[in-house]
């Protein structure tokens, strides 16, 4: 993960970027909603009419769709831009679409699209971001930058900087989660500490949560939006479709205008009336980061114990003793050296390493004890033997 807290280059970023809001609105949060893709003129207008009755700032619809695999619906293309124009004329909503090439930019500008956004696959590619940025030289239009699909804070920041260097000043960032190979409840895991760090580096940038692409499913959209509010995000981007199950892309995560009204209506938005909201928000953000680090630490410890068990298996086969004093000394020495380097006290490091080592020994002892292994195989015991169990 990219925690760049003390890098001098950060100070350069913070002091020099004068990023302005994409809108001047008194509403908090900023609300962006609309279908994943523009499919037909009727579907676009039906969604917009449903949303126009609600507090929405910006209507979204993808015209050019970057799809993970070929033969998926890749967007209606330029004709969709005229549908977005109709949305604005009919409902008064501002409109936004995704651009990935200079040609997209040129066409979107020709159709007077109000705001552009750069998608997650595009912001992962500096050549593409540069192409878009070059096409925007001399143009004053707000641009929203989604995080790249991979959890690389510098790449996200780099995309913002490329636009900034082209003269774009109204820039927002959109957190849409990160690709993850493995099991999670999310389509794209949120890793909240990354957008929080972006906001710390770029304090004036508006930070928007795309709960639809983080979740990939409807049932956790509301709790994810709430988490973004608790973390003091500036806005939400949510995919809305008149008949979500029939959507041509991202059907599982889209909701009806009615469900959207419900979701927004139930959000608890932080009130500005508490003692010092900025301070409270900061504490909240730091606590979330601490919770996430704790979770990572526990997962890593569990992984370490699995490795210790593998070693236990080898030792059992070769009839070798568990405690290898020389190895333990090496682990301890290395740990103390590293701890010192990171400003952690010797007493803390010693206690920590001893506890971890003891737990590793317990895990090894479990796999080396034939009797316990047999019992585990017979389903009499699950997992390792903990001290409380042994004292029974």
Q: Can you give the binding site for ligand PEP, defined by CB under 6 A? A: 36, 62, 119-121, 146, 176, 213
Residue 363 interface partner, choices Mn ion, ligand PEP, none, CB cut-off 5-8 Å depending on type? none
Give the binding range for Mn ion (CB under 5 A) out of 36-44, 189-197, 229-237, 258-266.
Answer: 36-44
Partner from ligand PEP, Mn ion, none binding residue 107, C-beta < 5-8 Å depending on class: none
Task: For the CB of residue 117, give the shortest distance to ligand PEP in the complex, in Å.
Answer: 7
In the bound complex, what is the minimum distance in angstroms from residue 36's beta carbon to Mn ion?
Answer: 3
- For Mn ion, the binding residue among 170, 250, 308, 366 (CB under 5 A) is 250
**Both tokens assigned to 217:** 């499913």
Residue 94 interacting partner from Mn ion, ligand PEP, none (CB closer than 5 to 8 Å by kind): none
Nearest residue to ligand PEP, scored by beta-carbon proximity: 119
From the CB of 337, what's the least distance to ligand PEP, in Å? Answer: 42
Nearest residue (CB) to Mn ion, 172 versus 368: 172
Of 17, 30, 33, 36, the one binding Mn ion (CB under 5 A) is 36
Its sign, for the CA torsion 60, 185, 304, 192, is positive
Strand (E) positions, the chain? 30-34, 58-60, 94-98, 115-118, 143-146, 171-175, 206-210, 235-239
Residue labelled with tokens 């020994």? 361
Q: How far is the CB of 47 from Mn ion (least distance, A)?
A: 13
The verdict on 38 binding Mn ion (CB under 5 A) reads no
58 vs 120 by CB, closer to ligand PEP: 120
Rounded CA separation 338/174 (Å) = 36
CA 147/CA 114 separation, integer angstroms: 21
What DSSP line would sit under 6-55, residue for residue? Answer: T-HHHHHHHHH---B-S---S-SSEEEEE-SB---HHHHHHHHHHHHTS-
Q: Which residues bind Mn ion (CB under 5 A)?
A: 36, 250
């Amino acid at each position: 993960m990219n925690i760049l807290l003390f890098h001098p280059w950060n100070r350069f970023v913070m002091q020099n970027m004068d990023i302005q809001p994409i809108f001047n609105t008194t509403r908090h949060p900023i609300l962006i909603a609309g279908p994943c893709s523009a499919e037909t003129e009727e579907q676009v207008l039906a969604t917009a009419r449903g949303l126009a009755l609600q507090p929405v700032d910006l209507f979204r619809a993808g015209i050019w769709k970057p799809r993970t695999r070929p033969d998926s619906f890749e967007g209606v293309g330029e004709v969709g831009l005229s549908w977005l124009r109709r949305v604005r004329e009919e409902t008064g909503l501002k409109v936004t679409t995704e651009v990935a090439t200079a040609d997209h930019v040129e066409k979107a500008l020709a159709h007077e699209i109000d705001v552009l956004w750069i998608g997650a696959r595009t912001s992962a590619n500096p050549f593409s971001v540069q192409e878009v940025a070059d096409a925007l030289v001399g143009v004053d239009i707000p641009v929203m930058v989604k995080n790249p699909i991979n959890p690389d804070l510098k790449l996200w920041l780099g995309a913002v900087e490329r636009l900034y260097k082209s003269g774009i000043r109204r820039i927002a960032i959109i957190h849409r989660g990160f690709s993850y190979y493995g099991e999670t409840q999310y389509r794209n895991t949120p890793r909240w500490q990354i957008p929080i760090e972006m906001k710390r580096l770029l304090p004036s940038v508006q930070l928007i949560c795309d709960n639809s692409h983080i979740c990939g499913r409807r049932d956790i959209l509301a709790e994810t939006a709430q988490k973004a509010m608790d973390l003091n995000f500036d806005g939400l981007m949510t995919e809305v479709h008149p008949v979500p199950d029939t959507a041509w892309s991202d059907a599982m995560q889209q909701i009806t205008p009615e469900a959207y009204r419900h979701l927004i209506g139930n959000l608890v938005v932080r009130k500005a009336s508490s003692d010092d909201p900025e301070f409270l928000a900061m504490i909240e953000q730091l606590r979330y980061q601490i919770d996430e680090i704790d979770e990572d630490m526990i997962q890593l410890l569990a992984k370490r114990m699995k490795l210790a068990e593998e070693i236990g298996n080898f030792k059992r086969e070769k009839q070798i003793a568990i405690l290898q004093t020389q190895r333990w000394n090496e682990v301890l020495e290395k740990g103390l050296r590293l701890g010192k380097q990171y400003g952690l006290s010797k007493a803390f490091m010693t206690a920590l390493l001893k506890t971890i080592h003891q737990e590793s020994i317990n895990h090894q002892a479990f796999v080396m004890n034939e009797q316990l292994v047999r019992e585990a195989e017979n389903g009499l015991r699950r997992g390792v033997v903990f001290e409380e169990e042994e004292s029974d």
